[in-house]
């Protein structure tokens, strides 16, 4: 190992000087400390590859220095220098993490071989760290996290699909990360410098979606005081992400189909044709083939959207991703809320692994966020997780699933004073899905 940074810690000047000179001649950068206290000070300010540390010193012992140094810098290799009489201390030092010990006086070749061995060991360790980082990179794909075979398959597909300009249909249950996948495709495509425009098709009533998509001309309707560009126009040069495309009305489906065919459209109330260049990515949690059979979704639009398609797997099918996902959410929310929570207890993780997460990754994220906020400990405990609240997991016997769902929806809506966005977040579903359920079950705000 040539060019290592070595700190010699010995209270004898002659040892420091002679060993220092010898190591310098060997091409190493040498620093010297006459006491344990001075060594700790130097270790705080500098980074060393190797510490040659005398066990027996006036003041702070070498063993104490070893423990303190290893706490702060686990990467430094510490070689204890010991006299024949203090071999037991040297063995104790080895147990405390010293790399090796040398018996004074030692053969220069022995020291040379040891330094080379340390260099090799450190290089291997750095390589392992590098590979681990690479693995982490692979675990994190854009903003998506997952090391399971299921998600790795999705990442590979995104990589191959992104450079093409084809329309992509992403299927999957709510909360599985369809939006993140769409963004990843955009980021990895040649349109990445262009805009990524999201249209949540389920969030707008028909007439609003029309003006949202196509824009409107000043005076087109009573409130149209100015001309406004629609999202299709805004997506020029980039990607248009049609989320919840299965929610679009049949009339709008015709308009959309026309736009997808030639990328030419008119603003509401406008007479000038507008041409925009965008790639379309659509997502749905609905079984579109079923809706085609039911006559609520146009077959021709389906085929126009379904050029390339893939399904985001539900979290219950790739539970091995729960630990890295939970850890990611933990750090993110701990940082956002400025709370000192940095661990998930084994028990809490076990419970997470047992749960089926119907709201998928979004529900997991919400659960961790809540645990970070309500938790009193530095670690997330099972009782901090909403999925383990007794009222959440148990329901009185004899009730139908519909009754249980209604009761739960009402309880969450009341808890949030009927804040739909917040309730949807807690429930781990989209706002539009919640609206749909409120409408379907005819839920009403009390009072």
Partner 1 sequence: MSSKEHTLVISPIGDLDAGGELLEHLGKELGKLFGYRTDIRPLIEEKDLWLDPVRKQYHSTPILETLAVISPPEAVKVLAITKVDLFIPILTHVYGEAQLGGKACILSTYRFNEEPSLAGRTEAFYCRLLKEAVHELGHTFNLRHCADSACAMHYCRSVKEVDRKSNQFCRYCTVLLSDEMKRLAKGK
Residues that bind partner 1 (CB under 8 A): 2, 12, 14-15, 17-19, 21-22, 24-27, 81, 104-109, 111-112
Tokens representing residue 304 in the block: 């126009």
| 79 versus 161: smaller Cβ distance to partner 1 | 79
| 59 versus 108: smaller Cβ distance to partner 1 | 108
Are 380 and 371 contacting, i.e. CB atoms less than 8 angstroms apart? yes
Tokens representing residue 89 in the block: 């201390």
Minimum gap (Å) between residue 48 Cβ and partner 1: 18
Question: What's the CA angle centered on 71, arms 70 and 72, to 5 degrees?
Answer: 90
The alpha-carbon radius of gyration of the chain (Å, integer) is: 32
Torsion angle of the four alpha carbons 261, 264, 267, 273, in this order, in degrees rounded to the nearest 10? -150
Distance between CA 397 and CA 399 in Å, rounded? 6
| 40 versus 112: smaller Cβ distance to partner 1 | 112
Distance between CA 35 and CA 57 in Å, rounded? 7
Distance between CA 105 and CA 251 in Å, rounded? 91
- Residue 200's SS3 state is strand
| 21 versus 219: smaller Cβ distance to partner 1 | 21
Residue 222 has φ and ψ, to the nearest 5°, of: -50, -45
Minimum gap (Å) between residue 149 Cβ and partner 1: 45
| 17 versus 320: smaller Cβ distance to partner 1 | 17
Minimum gap (Å) between residue 93 Cβ and partner 1: 17
- Residue 154's SS3 state is helix
DSSP characters over 372-419 = HHH--SSEE-GGGSGGG-HHHH---TT--HHHHHHHHHHHHHHHTTT-
Minimum gap (Å) between residue 89 Cβ and partner 1: 18
Minimum gap (Å) between residue 10 Cβ and partner 1: 8
Minimum gap (Å) between residue 18 Cβ and partner 1: 4
Is the preceding peptide bond at 105 cis, omega within 30 degrees of 0? yes
| 25 versus 376: smaller Cβ distance to partner 1 | 25
| 105 versus 390: smaller Cβ distance to partner 1 | 105
- Quote the longest CA-to-CA distance of the chain: 98
Distance between CA 371 and CA 212 in Å, rounded? 37
Minimum gap (Å) between residue 70 Cβ and partner 1: 23
| 12 versus 124: smaller Cβ distance to partner 1 | 12
Minimum gap (Å) between residue 99 Cβ and partner 1: 17
């Amino acid at each position: 190992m040539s060019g290592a940074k070595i700190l010699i810690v010995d209270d004898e000047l002659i040892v420091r000087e002679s060993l220092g000179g010898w190591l310098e001649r060997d091409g190493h950068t040498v620093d010297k400390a006459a006491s344990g206290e001075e060594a700790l000070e130097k270790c705080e300010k500098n980074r060393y590859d190797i510490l040659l540390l005398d066990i027996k010193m006036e003041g702070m012992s070498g063993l104490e220095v070893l423990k303190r140094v290893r706490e702060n810098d686990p990467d430094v290799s510490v070689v204890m220098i010991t006299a024949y009489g203090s071999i037991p201390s040297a063995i104790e030092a080895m147990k405390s993490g010293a790399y090796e010990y040398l018996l004074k006086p030692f053969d220069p070749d022995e020291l040379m071989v040891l330094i080379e061995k340390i260099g090799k060991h450190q290089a291997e360790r750095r390589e392992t760290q590098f590979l681990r980082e690479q693995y982490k990179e692979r675990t994190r794909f854009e903003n998506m996290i997952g090391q399971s075979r299921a998600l790795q398959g999705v990442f590979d597909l995104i990589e191959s699909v992104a450079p093409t300009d084809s329309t992509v249909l992403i299927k999957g249950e709510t909360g599985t990360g369809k939006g993140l996948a769409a963004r990843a495709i955009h980021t990895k495509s040649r349109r990445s410098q262009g805009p990524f425009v999201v249209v949540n098709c389920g969030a707008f009533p028909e007439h609003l979606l029309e003006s949202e998509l196509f824009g409107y001309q000043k005076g087109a309707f009573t409130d149209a005081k100015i001309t406004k560009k629609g999202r299709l126009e805004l997506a020029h040069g980039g990607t248009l992400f049609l989320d919840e495309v299965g929610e679009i009305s049949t009339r709008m489906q015709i308009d959309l189909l026309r736009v997808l065919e030639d990328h030419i459209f008119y603003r509401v109330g406008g007479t000038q044709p507008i041409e925009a260049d965008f790639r379309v990515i659509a997502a749905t949690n609905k079984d579109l083939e079923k809706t085609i059979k039911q006559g609520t979704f146009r077959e021709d639009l389906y085929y126009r959207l379904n050029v390339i398609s893939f399904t985001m797997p539900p979290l219950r099918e790739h539970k091995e991703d729960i630990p890295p996902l939970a850890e990611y959410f933990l750090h993110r929310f701990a940082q956002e809320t400025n709370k000192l929570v940095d661990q998930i207890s084994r028990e809490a993780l076990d419970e997470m692994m047992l749960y089926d997460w119907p709201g998928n990754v979004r529900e997991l994220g919400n659960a961790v966020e809540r645990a970070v906020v309500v938790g009193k400990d530095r670690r997330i405990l099972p009782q901090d997780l909403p999925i383990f609240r007794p009222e959440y997991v148990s329901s009185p016997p004899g009730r139908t699933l519909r009754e249980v769902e209604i009761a739960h929806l009402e309880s969450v809506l009341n808890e949030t004073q009927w804040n739909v966005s917040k309730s949807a977040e807690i429930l781990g579903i989209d706002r539009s899905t919640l609206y749909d359920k409120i409408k379907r079950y005819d839920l009403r705000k009390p009072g």
